[in-house]
C-alpha cells in the first residue's frame, strides 16, 4: 500500500515515526514523508523519501515573539487527577486559542496543507500517518479518502486536554457569559482548533468532524502506564529509539565497559537547533556531580559548554553520542525532559532525573516519578544539593532501577514496528474509502 507520513518540520517530532516508516518500507510498502523543506535533510538522512510541501512556517519567529507567554500559560499544569486547580475551563480555553493561533495553524499553514493535499490527490495514498499536531495529514486523508492515524511517540497530553475542553464547551455557560449561537453541524464558535479545521476542510468542500482531530486510530509508542484513555482505537507499538539525523557513531571509549557507574547528562538536541530555550542551569548540574564516584558523560555542544565555569574531573564532555548506544551502559540519566531522551531512557530501563519545565515534559517526569522510575526536578528548582541528593538516591536505592526495568519490560511487551505493519494493513482496508485499487504491499507482485 501507499503510506504518506507527515510531520511538521521539527526533528523531535519527526524522529518518533522513523522506525515505523522503515518497517513499512521493509515490508514492501511505498512510503513518502511530507514536511516543510526544512525537514528534507532529516528525512533523507533517515533513509526515507521526502516530499517537501509548503515553506518555512516561521516557528522560530513565533517562539521568539510570544513563546514565553504561551509557555507561561501552561506553567504548573498537569494531568494529575489529584492536583488541585488543574485544567480549569479558563486554562483550557486559553490553551485552545493560543495553541491554535501560534502553533497548530502555523505549522499547518495554508500553503503546507494545500501542497500536501495536492500531492495526496496525485499520489493517492491508502494510509496517511500523521504526527499528532500535523493535522494537515488528516485533511489530506479526508480529501483523498485515505485511512489516517496519529503516530504518538510521547505521552499524549493533547487528547485529554482536548476532551476536557470539548466537555467544558458542551457544559454550557456558568459564569454569566455565553458563546454566541453556533451553526448546526459545525464546530463550536469558541473551539478555535475546530473552527480552523472547519474552514481548512471547507477549502476542499468537506465538513468538519472531530475525526480530523483524533484520526481514525492512534499508533501509540509509549508504555500503557503513560497512555490516557482514548476515544479511538489504539495500536500499541514498541518505541525503537531513533535519535535523529546527527550521524550515529560509536566512539572508542564507548566500546569498553565503564569501571564506575556511568551517568549521562544531556540537554537534548532541540534547543541547539531551534528557538525553544534551554532552561537547564548546566553549570549547576556539573557542580552537583563533582566528587561523586561516578563517570559522567555530558553531551554538550560548544554553546552549552560556554555556560560552564568548571568541568569536574569525573566528566567526559562529548558533543554528541547516539543515546541508544550510550544508555545501555548507564546507571542513570540527568536530562532536560525532552520526549526523545525520555523515551530512549525508558526503553533502555535507565532511571531518570528529568528537569522538565515545559508542560508536557513536566507531565512525563511527574508520571515517571509516580511510577518510581525516576525523579522530577524542574529546571528552575535545580540546586547543587538538590540534584546531588536525588542522583545519589537514584544510584543507591535499587527501587528506581527495578521500576525502570519494569517499564522497560512493559515497553518490550508491545509489538515491534514490523509486527504492527499487518495491523495497519488491516485497519487501512477497513477505514479507507471503498472502490479503490487493491492494497499493495508485501504480497503485491512487482509490475516489472
Of 260-299, binders to other proteins (CB under 8 A) are none
Question: Exposed e or buried b for every residue in 252-284, given b needs 16+ CB within 10 A?
Answer: eebeeebeebbbbbbbbbbbbbeebebbbbbeb
State yes or no: residue 118 binds other proteins (CB under 8 A). Answer: no
Binding other proteins (rule: CB under 8 A), the pick from 26, 56, 167, 199 is 199
| Minimum separation from the CB atom of position 56 to other proteins (A) | 14
Cβ proximity to other proteins, 60 vs 80, nearer residue: 60
Cβ proximity to other proteins, 189 vs 261, nearer residue: 189
State yes or no: residue 72 binds other proteins (CB under 8 A). Answer: yes
Binding other proteins (rule: CB under 8 A), the pick from 41, 44, 47, 66 is 66
Helix (H) or strand (E) holding 217: strand 217-220
Measured distance CA(25)–CA(46) in Å, rounded: 12
Contact 359, 380 (CB under 8 A): no
Contact 96, 165 (CB under 8 A): yes
Q: Spell out, one character per residue from 179 to 198, where the chain touches other proteins: x when CB under 8 A holds, - when not.
A: xx-xx--x--xx-x--xx--
| Minimum separation from the CB atom of position 96 to other proteins (A) | 9
Measured distance CA(440)–CA(83) in Å, rounded: 49
Cβ proximity to other proteins, 62 vs 311, nearer residue: 62
| Minimum separation from the CB atom of position 54 to other proteins (A) | 14
State yes or no: residue 101 binds other proteins (CB under 8 A). Answer: yes
Burial of 161 (0-12, 13-18, 19+ CB in 10 A): buried
Of 378, 343, 346, which is closest to residue 359 (Cα–Cα)?
378
State yes or no: residue 168 binds other proteins (CB under 8 A). Answer: no
State yes or no: residue 100 binds other proteins (CB under 8 A). Answer: yes
State yes or no: residue 228 binds other proteins (CB under 8 A). Answer: no
Cβ proximity to other proteins, 83 vs 178, nearer residue: 178
Of 421, 359, 320, which is closest to residue 22 (Cα–Cα)?
421
Of 150, 135, 149, 137, which is closest to residue 103 (Cα–Cα)?
135
Cβ proximity to other proteins, 173 vs 257, nearer residue: 173
Cβ proximity to other proteins, 113 vs 331, nearer residue: 113
Q: What are the C-alpha distances in Å from 119 to residues 50, 51, 113?
A: 12, 8, 10
Of 258, 237, 325, 315, which is closest to residue 282 (Cα–Cα)?
315
State yes or no: residue 178 binds other proteins (CB under 8 A). Answer: yes
State yes or no: residue 64 binds other proteins (CB under 8 A). Answer: yes
| Minimum separation from the CB atom of position 191 to other proteins (A) | 9
Measured distance CA(166)–CA(163) in Å, rounded: 5
Cβ proximity to other proteins, 161 vs 219, nearer residue: 161
State yes or no: residue 173 binds other proteins (CB under 8 A). Answer: yes
Burial of 229 (0-12, 13-18, 19+ CB in 10 A): exposed
Helix (H) or strand (E) holding 390: helix 384-396
State yes or no: residue 65 binds other proteins (CB under 8 A). Answer: yes
| Minimum separation from the CB atom of position 100 to other proteins (A) | 6
**Strands, sheet with 30-35, edge to edge from the N-terminal-most edge strand:** 50-52, 30-35, 2-6, 127-130, 147-152, 217-220, 234-236
Of 132, 82, 87, which is closest to residue 107 (Cα–Cα)?
132
Binding other proteins (rule: CB under 8 A), the pick from 17, 200, 221, 369 is 200
Of 31-60, binders to other proteins (CB under 8 A) are 58
State yes or no: residue 73 binds other proteins (CB under 8 A). Answer: yes
Measured distance CA(267)–CA(323) in Å, rounded: 12
Cβ proximity to other proteins, 61 vs 433, nearer residue: 61
Phi-psi region of 68 (alpha: psi -120 to 50; beta: other; left: phi over 0): alpha
State yes or no: residue 203 binds other proteins (CB under 8 A). Answer: yes
Cβ proximity to other proteins, 182 vs 277, nearer residue: 182
The piece of 15-23, 132-140, 154-162, 170-178 that touches other proteins (CB under 8 A) is 170-178
Cα angle 164, 170, 171 (rounded to 5 degrees) comes to 90
3-state secondary structure of 35: strand
Cβ proximity to other proteins, 188 vs 324, nearer residue: 188
Binding other proteins (rule: CB under 8 A), the pick from 85, 170, 176, 229 is 176
- Total site size for other proteins, rule CB under 8 A: 40
What value does the CA radius of gyration of the chain take, rounded to a whole number of Å? 22
Residues that bind other proteins (CB under 8 A): 58, 61-62, 64-66, 69-70, 72-73, 89-90, 93-94, 97-98, 100-102, 105, 110, 173, 175-180, 182-183, 186, 189-190, 192, 195-196, 199-200, 202-203
Amino acid at each position: 500500500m501507499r503510506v504518506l507520513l507527515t510531520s511538521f518540520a521539527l526533528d523531535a517530532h519527526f524522529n518518533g515515526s522513523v522506525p515505523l516508516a522503515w518497517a513499512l518500507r521493509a515490508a514492501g510498502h511505498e512510503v513518502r514523508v511530507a514536511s516543510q523543506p526544512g525537514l528534507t535533510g532529516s528525512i533523507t538522512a533517515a533513509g526515507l523519501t521526502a516530499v517537501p510541501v509548503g515553506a518555512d512556517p516561521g516557528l522560530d519567529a513565533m517562539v521568539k515573539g510570544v513563546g514565553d507567554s504561551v509557555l507561561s500559560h501552561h506553567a504548573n499544569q498537569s494531568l494529575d487527577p489529584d492536583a488541585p486547580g488543574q485544567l480549569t475551563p479558563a486554562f483550557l480555553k486559553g490553551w485552545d486559542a493560543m495553541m491554535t493561533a501560534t502553533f497548530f495553524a502555523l505549522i499547518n499553514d495554508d500553503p503546507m496543507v494545500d501542497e500536501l493535499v495536492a500531492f495526496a490527490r496525485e499520489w493517492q495514498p491508502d494510509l496517511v500517518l500523521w504526527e499528532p499536531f500535523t493535522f494537515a495529514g488528516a485533511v489530506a486523508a479526508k480529501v483523498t479518502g485515505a485511512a489516517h492515524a496519529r503516530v504518538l511517540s510521547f505521552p499524549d497530553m493533547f487528547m485529554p486536554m482536548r476532551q476536557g475542553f470539548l466537555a467544558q464547551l458542551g457544559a454550557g455557560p456558568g459564569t454569566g457569559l455565553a458563546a454566541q449561537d453556533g451553526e448546526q453541524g459545525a464546530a463550536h464558535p469558541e473551539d478555535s482548533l475546530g473552527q480552523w479545521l472547519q474552514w481548512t476542510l471547507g477549502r476542499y468542500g468537506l465538513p468538519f468532524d472531530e475525526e480530523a482531530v483524533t484520526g481514525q486510530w492512534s499508533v501509540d509508542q509509549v508504555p500503557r502506564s503513560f497512555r490516557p484513555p482514548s476515544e479511538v482505537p489504539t495500536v500499541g507499538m514498541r518505541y525503537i529509539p531513533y535519535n535523529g539525523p546527527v550521524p550515529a557513531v560509536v566512539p572508542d571509549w564507548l566500546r569498553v565497559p565503564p569501571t564506575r557507574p556511568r551517568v549521562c547528562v544531556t540537554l537534548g538536541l532541540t534547543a541547539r537547533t531551534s528557538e525553544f530555550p534551554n532552561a537547564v542551569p548546566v553549570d549547576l548540574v556539573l557542580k552537583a556531580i563533582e566528587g561523586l564516584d561516578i563517570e559522567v558523560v555530558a553531551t554538550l555542544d560548544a554553546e552549552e559548554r560556554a555556560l560552564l565555569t568548571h568541568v569536574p574531573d569525573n566528566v567526559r564532555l562529548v558533543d554528541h553520542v547516539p543515546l541508544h548506544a550510550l544508555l545501555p551502559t548507564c546507571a542513570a540519566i540527568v536530562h532536560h525532559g525532552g520526549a526523545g531522551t525520555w523515551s530512549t531512557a525508558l526503553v533502555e530501563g535507565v532511571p531518570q532525573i528529568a528537569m522538565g519545565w515545559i508542560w508536557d515534559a513536566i507531565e512525563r517526569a511527574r508520571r515517571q516519578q509516580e511510577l518510581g522510575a525516576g525523579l522530577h526536578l524542574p529546571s528552575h528548582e535545580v540546586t547543587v544539593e538538590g540534584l546531588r541528593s536525588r542522583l545519589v538516591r537514584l544510584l543507591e536505592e535499587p527501587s528506581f532501577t527495578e521500576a525502570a526495568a519494569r517499564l522497560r519490560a512493559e515497553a518490550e511487551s508491545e509489538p515491534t514496528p514490523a509486527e504492527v505493519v499487518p495491523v495497519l494493513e488491516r485497519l487501512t482496508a477497513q477505514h479507507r474509502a471503498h472502490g479503490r485499487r487493491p492494497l499493495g504491499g508485501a504480497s503485491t507482485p512487482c509490475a516489472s
